[in-house]
Amino acid sequence: MTDREWGLGHEDPALFDPAHLDADAWVHTFAQAGMRGVVLTAKHHDGFCLWPSAQTAHTVAASPWRGGTGDLVAEVSRACARHGLKFGVYLSPWDRTEARYGSGAAYDDFFVAQLTELLTGYGEVFSVWFDGANGEGSDGRVQQYDWDRYHRVVRALQPGAVLSVCGPDVRWCGNEAGHTRADEWSVVPHELRSAERTAQVSQQVDDGEFSRAVRSDAEDLGSRRALAGYRGECVWYPAEVNTSIRPGWFHHPAEDDAVRTAEELFALWRRAVGGNATFLLNVPPAADGRLGAPDVTALRGLGRLLREFHATDLLTGADLRFSSGAPVPLRTTREGELPAWRPASDDEHPTVSAAWTTATPVRAVCVREDVRQGQRVELLDVELLLAGEPVWSCTVASVGYQRILDVPDVEADALRVVVRGSRGTPHLLGLAVRPTPDPSGVGASARP
């Protein structure tokens, strides 16, 4: 509403009057993009609440929007239910309007009361997203957040919700540029669960640079080398990659020509979701309440690319061979609880091979572990063959929930996957070979 990134606090609620806001249109676009859930910024650092909170007068109830009777949290929650997407909330721990900020327990009471409103009035919440913003720093009011108390409230009111970033369930990857690690481990030292530690490296200054900064000081968190000498507890703490579709996290008309393209988003998705992480994409509405036209174009394009990517699997109907253990389907879809392939304990190099009938250009190989058993594979060889001869190979040092390996469009008619190293018996759940799309839009290109 003010063309800023961070609000300063105490802005006039009359500024909030998005004449064309349609939450259903937002969520419909996100569904078209292939998204599975929405996390709404219910309150940012400026303290203005997008729901009529009983804890403060600084809310939509004091605005002219919907005649002062609006509740955007409710509108987005209902839209998610209509379109089959999960609903989550972000609530800034820092509040530049609330007078009790920095007072200790009194502010914690205020924050918990607002958190309770969000977790009891809007149906099932799948994610509660906290950052560590405490922007006033040493020269202003400082609030020592009672993270344990906040977490207990979420567990009590929404036991199915994951606590993200400044929480023990989903780990921040460490930057907001969409940068991913070469090998992402979900099993990491328990110290990484410290909300205070995450807060220390969160954005503290609205300098316009943090959202595209890539830090590489912790590129390896869970390999044997990284854990060598570590004597503490390891925990299951999978990563999330977050970035914005625009240079900033809020809408600025001057950035309309800097929106990420569908192809850029698809590449980010492949590296994040294809690198054992979840992907959270920020999409900011304009001041009138609508998503920008270039944003909508990019999102719809992303959905088209995702559908195209998943449309064909060369292993459907292929002849799968296993070096040991009982054969299983090895599908990369989410439907049902598929059995995982578990090789024999004395199988030194568990191997899956497959062949299909027609030499076909390949764009990607997808591998999934059964993370219900943990993350175990730590060295994997993947090889594509044509007429019995290798034409492409790749070695990776982790798999996890999913690993998508880009292939430089080589033609192949067979695949071989070999587990060279594992922490205990590996459990492979899914395997897919994605063909290069035919430029004509009809299936994959191939030759006899």
In a domain, 212, yes or no: yes
User: Domain check: are 183 and 255 in the same one?
Assistant: yes
- 63 plus 173 within the same structural domain: yes
Contact (Cβ atoms closer than 8 angstroms) between residue 441 and residue 369: no
Same domain, 402 and 282: no
User: Considering the domain boundaries, does residue 238 fall inside one?
Assistant: yes
**Per-residue DSSP letter, 436:** P
Q: Is residue 8 part of a domain?
A: no
Instruction: Note the pTM of the prediction, 2 decimals.
Output: 0.92
Instruction: Give a yes or no: residue 364 inside a domain.
Output: yes
Shared domain for 291 and 376, answered yes or no, is no
Dihedral, CA atoms, 354, 423, 189, 214, nearest 10 degrees? -30
Task: Tell me: do 277 and 353 sit in the same domain.
Answer: no
Same domain, 283 and 333: no
Q: Are residues 264 and 374 in the same domain?
A: no
Question: 441's torsion region: left (phi>0), alpha (psi -120 to 50) or beta?
Answer: left
Split into its structural domains, the chain has a count of: 2
pLDDT digit string (tens) for 133-150?
887 766 788 899 999 999
pLDDT at 213: 42
The reply to whether 253 falls in a domain is yes
- Is 101:142 a contact under the CB 8 Å cutoff? no
Let me know whether 338 and 275 are in one domain: no
Q: Cα-flanking dihedrals φ and ψ of residue 131, to 5°? A: -105, 180
Q: Which one of 293, 311, 329 terminates a domain?
A: 311
Element holding 139 (H helix, E strand): none
* 441: in domain: no
Give the integer Cα–Cα distance in Å for 330 and 357.
19
The pLDDT of residue 445: 45
Identify the CATH number of the domain in which residue 412 sits.
2.60.120.260
pLDDT for 175 equals 84
On whether both 33 and 130 belong to a single domain, the answer is yes
State pLDDT tens for residues 234-282: 999 999 999 999 999 999 999 999 999 999 999 999 999 999 999 999 9
Q: Which residues does the chain have with pLDDT short of 50?
A: 203-204, 209-217, 442, 445-448
Reduce the DSSP state of residue 187 to 3 states and report it: strand
In which region does residue 340 sit, left (phi positive, over 0), alpha (psi from -120 to 50) or beta (all else)? Answer: beta
Residue 447 lies in a domain: no
Quote the CA–CA distance of 141 and 122 in Å, as a whole number.
Answer: 32
- For residue 327, the enclosing domain spans 319-435
Q: Among 283, 311, 339, where does a domain finish?
A: 311
Q: Domain holding 281: CATH number?
A: 3.20.20.80
pLDDT at residue 215, rounded to an integer: 40
Whether residue 244 sits in one domain with residue 364:
no
Query: What pLDDT is attached to residue 212?
Result: 41
| Buried-state track 352-386, b at ≥16 Cβ within 10 A, e below 16 | bbbbbeebbbbbbbbbbbbbeeebbbbebbbbbbb
In a shared domain, residues 280 and 324: no
Evaluate whether 292 touches 244 at the Cβ level (below 8 Å).
no
